[in-house]
Amino acid sequence: MRALVVAAAGSQPEVRDVPRPAAPGGGVAVRVVATGMCRSDWHAWAGHDEVSFPHVPGHELAGELVEVGEGVTKWKVGDRVTVPFVCGCGHCEWCLGGNAQVCPDQEQPGFTHWGSFAEYVALHAADRNLVAIPEQVDFATAASLGCRFATAYRALVGRARVTEGEWLTVIGAGGVGLSAVMIARALGARVIAVDRNREALAVAAELGADHTLLADGTDIPSAVGDLTGGGSHVAIDAVGSEQTCADAILSLRRRGRLVQVGLLPPIGGHPRVPMSRVIGWELDVLGSHGMAATDYPGMIALIEAGSLQPQRLIERTIGLGEAAELLPRFDQATVAGMTMIDPTR
């Protein structure tokens, strides 16, 4: 099969012929029809994660089952499927409780094993991790859910429990942030989007943000306070820096909820967080990490009904060759939307 192979951390990726993966025990092999490129793929390419090289990245995917491993009971060849980027082991206490997104023995295609920038990919613990794609939903739309969209959905619906009429501040109008804007609007919340980039804010406004704030040194919390009469009910930090985390917390009204999605990597030292405000105003601080397959049906129902349209974030579709050229520069990619790969191209 053809695959985008990274020989060593930071080296120029190449499209090569490599052996097709077989279905592991309890898992499946999938013919990849659509797969999204995200910044995490760039981190894997750069060697920031514990990936072993040579490596094939890719973790946002949808396709058709071509082989079913021993012990799989719920799936058959020909099924249209997608997966969350975190695949649980399928048998620990968290997986059995429907929270595979925090499984201590999780597999992540494109990180713990070869991913979906290829014609075929292997997936583990299929009975727990696969999600069926309804006929009305196309493969590219399904692939666009796997990482950023599902992460935003889980953050707002599963964690912060955003309700109609509440104010939401979204810090960072990238993939997660723009997904959050769309989901919040579908839930009937009012949205303020914050970003350093004017174009990203223009996209946020197009997708339904009520207000946008340019982070150009402006006092974001006081601007949010003015717009909302005392702060937003919920804030999501989709960037993950000391500044954005603090802005998100200080933008909340009393008893508000923060969802932290941006990773705040400890590489820059542990971030200072305004905990005195958290205590004094009884704020809830919630972490959110991906989404389990068990939570997909609610999200997919909204997509089938047309009230959520993740495909609006797909900006372009490219082939594997173009993807190989693009990956090393993806940290500087300026497009606000998603880049989809068609591995047959």
Half-sphere exposure of 51 (CA within 13 A, CB side): 29
Q: The tokens of 198 are what?
A: 């004017």
Least CB distance to Zn ion at residue 299 (A):
16
Q: Which is nearer to Zn ion, 46 or 92 (CB)?
A: 92
Locate 86 and state its tokens.
């975190």
Give min distance, CB of 96 to Zn ion, in A: 8
Closer residue to Zn ion (CB): 95 or 224: 95
Inter-residue long-range contacts of 221-227, CB under 8 Å, 24+ positions, other chains counted: 221/247, 221/250, 221/251, 224/169, 224/192, 224/194, 224/251, 225/251, 227/167, 227/192
We find the least distance from the C-beta atom of residue 59 to Zn ion, in angstroms, to be 6
Q: Distance from CA of residue 45 to its chain's centroid? A: 18
For the bound state, the minimum distance from the C-beta of residue 283 to Zn ion, rounded and expressed in Å, comes to 28
> Quick one: 103 or 140, whose CB is closer to Zn ion?
103
Question: How far apart are alpha carbons 299 and 307 in whole angstroms?
Answer: 10
Identify the sign of the CA torsion 24, 293, 331, 34.
positive
CA atoms within 13 A on the CB side of 120: 15
Per DSSP, what are the bridge partners of residue 339? 37, 316
Cβ closer to Zn ion: 69 or 88?
A: 88
C-alpha distances (whole Å) from 26 to each of 89, 153, 188 are 10, 28, 40
Largest CA distance in the chain: 60
* Contact yes or no for 209/189 (Cβ under 8 A): no
CA distance linking residue 236 with residue 170, whole number of Å: 5
Least separation in angstroms between residue 148's CB and Zn ion is 6
At its nearest, how many Å lie between Zn ion and the CB of residue 147? 3
Q: Which is nearer to Zn ion, 183 or 192 (CB)?
A: 183
Task: State in angstroms the smallest separation of the CB of 151 from Zn ion.
Answer: 8
Q: Where are the alpha helices (DSSP H) in 100-241?
A: 126-129, 139-143, 150-153, 175-186, 198-206, 220-228
Residue closer to Zn ion by CB (options 43, 253) is 43
Shortest Å distance, C-beta 174 to Zn ion: 11
The least CB distance from residue 103 to Zn ion, in Å, is 3
Q: Residue 299 belongs to what H/E stretch? A: helix 296-304
The smaller minimum CB distance to Zn ion, of residues 84 and 88, is found at 88
95 vs 170, which CB is nearer to Zn ion?
95
3-state secondary structure of 197: coil
- Site residues (CB under 5 A) for Zn ion? 38, 40, 88-89, 92, 95, 103, 147
Quick one: 151 or 169, whose CB is closer to Zn ion?
151
